[in-house]
């Protein structure tokens, strides 16, 4: 078993190396035309799209959480490259989370650079400490959260596989992390590890497929998120964990462009300013999308009463006094599933799924696609928290 896992680790590294070969400059991005996948910059987008009904007053903003630059000890990415890639990928907001250093906050990216609005922060004490002004030096996660909040920042759990203080008052958590997905594949655990081995046979002809074989959210993350939602609202975001710091020989394994292109987090915001982004994040009004499989704007999830009046949006709580209808709409081409407390309760192929509910639960949406002969996750909504009436 030990030798098999060692061979798998080398195999996955080769997959990454093949994928990155010839891609030293992240802009323009490489491109593939296989089953809707694309690495090229998004073009023809003057600004974020309007959200669909019943969120007509909102914009669908695309954003990044958990990224590092030359201000971290383990990354050398210049700030100019961060900005260039973010603009090329039509990123509307970007939460930098450098490991703490003398320059990470004082000289970190803040404000609008081209299309993208940047917030400086830190990955520290097991947290994504967002929108900081001062360093955080917590002796525990709970202490660090207090320091983040005291200066007007937002605290999210980074790397849930390592976090232990689940009763602490954090606002949200990563429900996907690309670094952890790679670790699981390299360890040989789960279906991703098996797929990584199988992908080696097609490495030369299909390097993109070899990488995409291991891109999946961790069940551990989702189970924890579902469980926490029974007690309180917890916002879910994607952790890109971008570093561009892994090389094999002279080959860059994790170019910044690809780390940002695989997955992102969308927020329904009333505008594009700092207050708009922060308000939407704290409200949980958003979703995670593996946009490597296709652009996701057009997705929406809401609750309405028997008169068809909207009574709750994703991220919100609603107390049930009479039957409610949950409605999920997706752009096209996938299978929509509604989950209650982590279990699928309704599913259909198409662009809309409606479900009548008469009892409480944490309801969220998963949209899946069929790509490369397997079912792949595409969109994960933040929940609607249906609570029993007092």
At 182-235, the pLDDT tens digits run 777 666 666 666 676 666 565 555 545 555 666 777 899 999 999 999 999 999
Q: In 3D, which of 157, 383, 162, 161 has the Cα closest to residue 288?
A: 383
Token pair recorded at residue 225: 């998120």
For the ranges 36-50, 159-173, 216-230, the lowest mean pLDDT is seen at: 36-50
The residue whose two tokens read 């752009």 is: 331
End-to-end CA distance of the chain: 54
Q: What is the rounded CA–CA span in Å between residue 379 and residue 220?
A: 18
Stated pTM of the model: 0.88
Spatial contact of 338 and 355, defined as CB atoms under 8 Å apart = yes
| Dihedral angle, C-alpha 266, 270, 275, 281, nearest 10 ° | -30
Give the pLDDT score at 29.
Answer: 38
Beta bridge partners of 319: 387
Helices marked H in 151-299: 178-187, 190-199, 207-212, 219-229, 256-262, 274-283
Of residues 175, 253, 247, 168, the one with CA closest to residue 210: 253
**Cis amide linkage into residue 230, ω under 30° from 0:** no
Indicate the Cα dihedral angle 123, 129, 132, 135, nearest 10°: -60
CATH topology of domain 299-390: Immunoglobulin-like (2.60.40)
Output the CA angle 317-169-382, nearest 5 degrees. Answer: 35
All structural domains of the chain with their residue ranges? 2-289, 299-390
Between vectors from CA 52 to CA 50 and to CA 53, what angle results, nearest 5°? 130
Task: Give 43 or 10, the one with higher predicted confidence.
Answer: 43
- In angstroms, rounded to a whole number, what is the distance separating the alpha carbons of residues 21 and 182? 18
**Owner of token pair 């098996």:** 194
The answer on pLDDT for 364 being more than 80 is yes
Name 358's Cβ contacts closer than 8 Å, sequence gap at least 6. 320, 323, 324
When comparing pLDDT for 5 and 282, which is higher?
A: 282
Task: Classify 82 as helix, strand or coil.
Answer: helix
> Which residues fall within 8 angstroms of residue 246, CB to CB, at 6 or more apart?
16, 252, 253, 254
The sign of the torsion formed by the CA atoms of 2, 7, 10, 15 equals negative
CA distance linking residue 134 with residue 166, whole number of Å: 25
Output the CA angle 119-211-179, nearest 5 degrees.
Answer: 40
Could you tell me if 325 and 354 are in contact, meaning their C-beta atoms sit under 8 angstroms apart?
yes
CATH superfamily of 2-289: Metal-dependent hydrolases (3.20.20.140)
Taking the CB of residue 203, how many other CB atoms lie within 10 A of it? 17
Rounded to the nearest integer, the mean pLDDT of the chain is 85
Would you state the structure tokens that stand for residue 363, as one six-digit string?
Answer: 């309801």
Distances (CA, A) of 374 to 12, 72, 166, 336, 370: 19, 37, 34, 16, 5
Residue 333: pLDDT band with limits 50, 70, 90: confident
Residue 83 pLDDT more than 70? Answer: yes
């Amino acid at each position: 078993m030990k030798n098999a896992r060692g061979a798998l680790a080398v195999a996955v590294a080769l997959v990454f190396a093949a994928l990155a070969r010839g891609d030293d400059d992240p802009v323009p991005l490489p491109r593939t035309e296989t089953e809707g996948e694309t690495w090229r910059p998004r073009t023809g987008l003057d600004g974020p799209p309007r959200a669909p009904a019943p969120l007509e007053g909102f914009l669908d903003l695309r954003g990044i959480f958990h990224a590092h630059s030359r201000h971290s000890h383990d990354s050398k990415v210049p700030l100019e490259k961060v900005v260039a890639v973010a603009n090329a990928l039509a990123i509307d907001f970007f939460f930098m989370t450098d490991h703490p250093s003398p320059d990470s906050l004082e000289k970190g990216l803040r404000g609008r650079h081209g299309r993208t609005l940047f917030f400086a922060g830190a990955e520290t004490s097991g947290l994504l400490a967002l929108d900081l002004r001062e360093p955080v030096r917590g002796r525990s996660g709970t202490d660090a959260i207090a320091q983040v909040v005291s200066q007007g920042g937002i605290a999210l759990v980074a790397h849930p596989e390592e976090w232990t203080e689940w009763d602490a008052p954090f606002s949200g958590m990563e429900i996907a992390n690309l670094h952890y997905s790679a670790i699981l594949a390299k360890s040989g655990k789960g279906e991703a590890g098996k797929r990584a081995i199988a992908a080696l046979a097609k490495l030369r002809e299909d390097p993109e497929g070899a990488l995409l074989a291991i891109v999946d959210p961790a069940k551990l993350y989702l189970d924890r998120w579902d469980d926490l939602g029974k007690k309180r609202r917890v916002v879910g975001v994607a952790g890109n964990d971008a570093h561009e710091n892994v090389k094999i020989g002279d080959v860059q394994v994790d170019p910044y462009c690809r780390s940002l292109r695989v997955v992102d987090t969308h927020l329904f915001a009333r505008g594009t300013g700092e207050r708009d982004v922060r308000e939407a994040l704290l409200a949980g009004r958003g979703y995670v999308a593996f946009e490597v499989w296709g652009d996701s704007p057009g997705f929406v999830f809401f609750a309405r009463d028997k008169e068809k009046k909207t009574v709750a949006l994703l991220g919100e709580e609603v107390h049930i006094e009479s039957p409610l209808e949950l409605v999920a709409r997706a752009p096209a081409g996938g299978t929509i599933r509604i989950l209650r407390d982590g279990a699928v309760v309704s599913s259909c192929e198409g662009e809309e799924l409606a479900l009548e509910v008469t009892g409480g639960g944490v309801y969220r949406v998963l949209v899946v696609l069929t790509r490369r002969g397997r079912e792949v996750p595409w969109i994960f909504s933040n929940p609607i928290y249906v609570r029993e009436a007092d």
